[in-house]
Amino acid sequence: MDNLLWIFISALLVNNFVLTYFLGLCPFLGVSNSLETSARLGLATTFVMLVTAVCAWILNTYVLIHAPYLRLICFIVVIASTVQFIEMLIKKLSPALFRAMGIFLPLITTNCAILGLAIFATNRGYGFWEGIVYALGAGIGFTLALVLLAGLREESELSNIPQLIKGTAMNLIIAGILSMAFMGFAGLFSTA
């Protein structure tokens, strides 16, 4: 089994969920126009990821051995329920935050990053602690990518951008350069 630190750093930097695995692109491109919203969404997503990782491990260990074909449906149900639960929680604890996040909270459900996390962790046979560490790394990595892009976008608002490239085209090209930068993290753990 890979050791815990490698799993964490790998998910966070070397194999970042957004910039290397292309997961979670909808919020990445859609929400990152505001630094604050991005940070909040990232945090909420990280929490959902943690819960999902634990539930996935429980399901895999006790239930799905007998019925592996039900894996996909079970994961989706878990994710949808977790998001619903968090929605209710945030609404109760901080109505202002709830209003600020608006539609993006329920949209966490269709965030491929969370389902992807569950599937990857299953395929790699991660145990309980590995799953938690993986979810932490992935969630923080997701938040990092979102915040980076949001910061760059906010900066670029003030510059003179040609009409043609404005919008998603520019965001994608910026993302491409960010992805290239993150490629530099490969080999971080090499013992050569």
Nearer of residues 21 and 57 to another protein, judged by Cβ: 21
Q: Within the chain, how many helices (H) and strands (E) appear?
A: 8, 0
Angle at 71 between CA 69 and CA 73, to 5 degrees: 100
Chain contacts with another protein (rule: CB under 8 A): 2, 6, 10, 14-15, 19-26, 29, 65, 68-70, 72-73, 76, 80, 83-84, 103, 106, 109-112, 115-116, 119-120, 123-125, 163-165, 167-173, 175-177, 179-180, 183, 186-187, 189-192
If you ran DSSP here, which 8-state letter would residue 7 be given? H
Tokens describing residue 13: 């930097």
Q: Give the separation between CA 119 and CA 183, rounded to whole angstroms.
A: 23
Least distance to another protein, CB of residue 107, Å: 9
Nearer of residues 25 and 147 to another protein, judged by Cβ: 25
Least distance to another protein, CB of residue 95, Å: 16
Q: Give the separation between CA 77 and CA 61, rounded to whole angstroms.
A: 17
Least distance to another protein, CB of residue 15, Å: 6
Least distance to another protein, CB of residue 113, Å: 8
Nearer of residues 37 and 171 to another protein, judged by Cβ: 171
Nearer of residues 2 and 154 to another protein, judged by Cβ: 2
Nearer of residues 25 and 152 to another protein, judged by Cβ: 25
Nearer of residues 97 and 177 to another protein, judged by Cβ: 177
Q: Give the separation between CA 4 and CA 148, rounded to whole angstroms.
A: 26
Least distance to another protein, CB of residue 5, Å: 11
Residues 6 or more apart in contact with residue 76 via CB below 8 angstroms: 115
Angle at 49 between CA 47 and CA 55, to 5 degrees: 110
Query: Of 52, 63, 66, 58, nearest to 119 (Cα)?
Result: 52
Least distance to another protein, CB of residue 144, Å: 15
